[in-house]
Amino acid sequence: MRTPAATNSSSGANAVTPVNTRSRSVKERQLALVEDKGAELQPLDDREIQVDDDWEDKLNLQVKIMNVVGTVDLKTPLELKTIALHARNAEYNPKRFSAVIMRLRDPKTTALIFGSGKIVITGGTSEESCRLAARKFTRVIQKLGFPARFTEFKVRNVMGTCDVRFPIRLEGLLNDHARFSSYEPELFPGLIYKLVEPKLTLLIFVSGKIVLCGARDSVHLNQAIDKMYPVLLQYRKMTAPPSLVTGRTGFEENEDIDRIEPSAIV
């Protein structure tokens, strides 16, 4: 049934206006939905990854010290057979290695004692524990009758690990930083990156885990992570959401993903 035409022009305008307003609002909503869908289908290459300035506080990255290597010079020649016979937790096999291997329980460390009077201490979890172990090994040698002195203690190597919590495109990192890095996945699964300042070596794995070697102290480890994190963030591997059918992600972990197509997402 048709509505009779309005006789008054003003009343007709009043009757039509709400319909036009409603149609415009519907069209605006439709256009907004189309624009939103276009934004969802926009390739990842055209979108910028926003990184907060306070990423250090947000992620709370921490380097865990795994091993500290130190050396000390006792300034006296040592009779290794005497040390191996009278000291506890000591072993000596000159055919295999020309040093006495001695172990401590607290701190849990191992010492390589050479006949020249030099000792290499490994297994410390901090610089302080390595120094304490060196003093204890020196005391053991003194109790055996040698005029040993605790001199020239130095930390030679601090090794630590860190997890940046995102997968990394190692191939892209190698291509752009070939001067400082080497990567041969057939021989070793990690990328070897030689940092100039501070001078140390990083073993970077696709999972985001990093092993840092060659640091002189723990401060250098933190400096290396602070310097490398923005670089690694540029090679962050973007993965598709898990499939509702299989429960797996749209890409395997070892794939080099430069762009995610909308059809890859279930």
Ordered structural domains, the chain, with CATH: 68-155 (3.30.310.10), 164-266 (3.30.310.10)
**CA dist., res. 153 & res. 70, Å (int):** 7
For residue 191, give the H/E element and its range. strand 191-195
pLDDT range class, residue 58, cuts 50, 70, 90: very low
Q: How far apart are CA 214 and CA 197, in angstroms?
A: 12
Residue 167's CB is within 10 A of a number of other CB atoms, namely 20
Residue 75 region, left (φ>0) first, then alpha (ψ -120 to 50), else beta?
Answer: left
pLDDT at 147 over 70: yes
**pLDDT (0 to 100) of residue 28:** 63
Q: Which residue has the higher pLDDT, 40 or 29?
A: 29
- pLDDT tens profile 181-239: 999 999 999 999 999 888 999 999 999 999 999 998 888 999 999 899 999 989 998 76
CB 124 within 8 A of CB 52: no
3-state secondary structure of 3: coil
CA-closest candidate to residue 169, choices 239, 224, 221, 227: 239
d(CA 27, CA 12): 23
Total-model pTM? 0.64
Which range, of 118-127, 142-151, 167-176, 252-261, averages the lowest pLDDT? 252-261
Rg (CA), the chain: 33
